[in-house]
Amino acid sequence: MTPDSFYEKSRKTLSDDFLNEVSAMIQAGADIIDIGASSTRPGAQTPSASEELSRLANVFPLLRKEFPNILLSVDTFYGEVADYALTHGADIVNDISGGQFDPEIWGVVAKHQAPYVLTYHRGEKSNLGTSYVSNHFMMDVLRYFSQKISDLEKQGVYNIILDPGFGFGKSLEENYELIRSFDMLHLFEKPILVGISRKSMIREILKVDVENSLNGTSALHALLLTKNAHVFRVHDVPEMNEVRTLMDASR
């Protein structure tokens, strides 16, 4: 629900086609609908919590009414926004900051006993594609998750999904190090979510634009399925479902 998400076709408004587009995603195999009101592309201007709330007004009640059985996720790092969404039909909080941009959000998640997507993110809100770790990158990833999981459990949050945070405060090499070392993330015995769809880590390697990055996205989705990733946050639901179907048939 943003005017400036990096992939133009993913931008939505409460237009006449909104419910049809969501319905098409569900029919194509989507299990969760993830709704955000702030672009996290590199260099994007971060809206305030009140601006996010104005963009999300009516979205969650409408989706919960029209699609009572689908899981709804709110993509925000504001506690106030998470509280509104969870009160009005959201099931999951997807926080790209790991609780770093608004410390209130963990208390909100604990109050609602909602599942929480914990993202590895050392960067700033501007989300520049640069490294923030001087050495031993994967060790930093493991330390981060270990500490954050412990802190979340102390606050009463136990249903945690890990997101290695592809593209968030990472160099190109670090993004691919995450893929090479993906098996290490299973040490925590948590579900793992990956969000690589059409991102610059694909476009820079293949020298393609956003419109022509679907083939590379599908290739990495197949690879990450072999590494037992559990949840895929995607722009292209039918194509992801094809990847999943073919991988299941090949096991």
DSSP secondary structure string, 26-61? HHTT-SEEEEESS--STTPPPPPHHHHHHHHTTHHH
Tens place of pLDDT for every residue, the chain, 251 residues?
A: 877 554 566 555 667 688 999 999 999 999 999 999 887 666 667 889 999 999 998 899 999 999 999 999 999 999 999 999 999 999 999 999 999 999 999 999 999 999 999 999 988 876 666 788 878 999 999 999 999 999 999 999 999 999 999 998 899 999 999 999 999 999 999 999 999 999 999 999 999 999 999 999 999 999 999 999 999 999 999 999 999 999 999 98
pLDDT value of residue 126: 65
The number of C-alpha atoms within 13 Å of 120 and in the hemisphere containing its C-beta is 29
pLDDT value of residue 124: 80
Burial of 35 (0-12, 13-18, 19+ CB in 10 A): buried
133 vs 130: CA distance, rounded Å: 9
E-assigned strands of 27-183? 32-36, 71-75, 92-95, 116-119, 160-163
* Contact yes or no for 198/214 (Cβ under 8 A): yes
107 vs 152: CA distance, rounded Å: 9
Helix and strand totals (H; E) in the chain? 10, 7
- Domain ranges for the chain: 8-250
Model's pTM, two decimal places?
0.92
φ and ψ at residue 119, rounded to 5 degrees:
-100, 135
Q: Which residues are tagged catalytic?
A: 199, 233
CATH class for the region spanning 8-250:
alpha beta
pLDDT value of residue 45: 77
Other CB atoms within 10 A of residue 187 CB? 10
